[in-house]
Amino acid sequence: MNPTKAYAAFSADAPLGPLAVRRRAPGPTDVQIAILYCGVCHSDLHHVRNEWHGTVYPCVPGHEIVGRVTATGSAVAGFRVGDVAAVGCMVDACRSCDNCRDGLEQFCRAGTVFSYNSPDKHSGGITYGGYSDSVVVDESFVLRVDPKLDLAAAAPLLCAGITTWSPLRHWRVGRGQKVGVIGLGGLGHMAVKFAASFGAEVVLFTTSAGKAGDARRLGASDVVVSTNAGEMNRHLNSFDFILDTVSASHDLNAYLPLLKRDATMVLVGAPEQPLPVAAFNLIFERHRLAGSLIGGIKETQEMLDYCAEHNITSDVEIIPIQQINEAYERMLKSDVKYRFVIDMASLGRESCGF
């Protein structure tokens, strides 16, 4: 086992701080990665503060990982030392159930092993995430990143990117369609970029009129302030697809009537409390309300390849690890455009606690 510097939460109400963890030595199918950058996802905050319940402490968050390969196992064929590599939300699955065979490891019947706060079959403890200086992952769950991309800005593609890419592709969003995106945060700004790149007419819904300029820069053709009833009514029964990226409590019933007959609204945000839905907003016009969870390894690689081809990355603010607690507070206020990314070189400057 190799000692690794990390930042961890020690309880639901304590700030994150330094922790030394141990990573396994690479086995025959493992890839060892020195982490260069790790994105900060809203789900990190949910886990750290135990808002989804079940957090095991100490918890080392982080599932938007980009780095360089420093060692490979004897059976590894797809990676060499020096390659740019990435790890997203998953590090293992059973690989034999119907969902795994279909390339949807995030729905593994036996239980997906997530990058952090999951049972670790190798150590016997729990998995530790990317707020650390290295990680060891089975080759089947390691992804390739084109080095021509801005690597810091590519890190959020591993969650924010695939979380929005997967439903847009699954529901075949494309040219000639009118697509709504609710919220312009880490997820929402990627949804706007992807939907626009697919040729759709994109409308952003926001509570902040000040985001209109950014939304249009990212690819939206129209911006609607969702608290303005007149603006909302102007779009009744007109959308082919709506993607809801908001993780705070909000009224789903304000958006369902905006769908065309047989159209779909998909949730990718995960509010802490259940959101009520009026049955008539589904019954009339045969509307559908669905959900989507990240994406499988194959489609994540497809997304990364597409981003390299079209030069699509996230809009990021790079921070040192020592500012992570401040970043969480700012994230709660939507005070970031549009994803914090930790420069993990800053962890090497940390001495206290190791």
Residue 2 in 3-state DSSP?
strand
Structure tokens at 96: 């034999």
Q: Where do we find the tokens 């016009």?
A: 285
What values do phi and psi take at 71, rounded to 5? -165, 150
Residue from 272, 337, 268 nearest 89 by CA = 268
Question: Phi first, then psi: what are they for 322, rounded to 5°?
Answer: -65, -15
Which of 101, 134, 118, 117 lies closest to 30 in space, CA to CA? 134
Can you list the domains of the chain with their CATH numbers? 2-159+295-349 (3.90.180.10), 161-291 (3.40.50.720)
HEC string for 101-117: HCCCHHHCCCCCEECCC
CA distances from 188 to 120, 137, 183, 257, 302 (A): 32, 29, 5, 21, 20
Q: Report d(CA 354, CA 350) in Å as an integer.
A: 8
- Neighbouring C-beta atoms of residue 150, cutoff 10 Å: 12
On whether the CB atoms of residues 126 and 118 are closer than 8 A, the answer is yes
Concatenate the DSSP letters of all residues of 131-188 into one string: SBSEEEEEGGG-EE--TTS-HHHHGGGGTHHHHHHHHHHHTT--TT-EEEEE--SHHH
Which residues are paired to 18 by β-bridges? 7
pLDDT mean for each 10 residues of the chain (354 residues): 91 96 96 98 94 94 98 97 98 98 98 97 93 98 98 98 98 98 97 98 95 96 96 97 95 98 96 92 97 98 98 98 97 93 89 54
**Lookup result for tokens 């699955």:** 93
Other Cβ atoms within 10 Å of 303 Cβ, number: 25
Specify whether the CB–CB gap between 190 and 160 falls below 8 A: yes
Identify whether the C-beta of residue 237 lies closer than 8 Å to the C-beta of residue 262.
no
Q: Give residue 273's pLDDT.
A: 86
Q: CA-based diameter of the chain, in Å?
A: 63
pLDDT of residue 352: 47
Nearest to residue 319, comparing CAs of 307, 329, 327, 311? 327
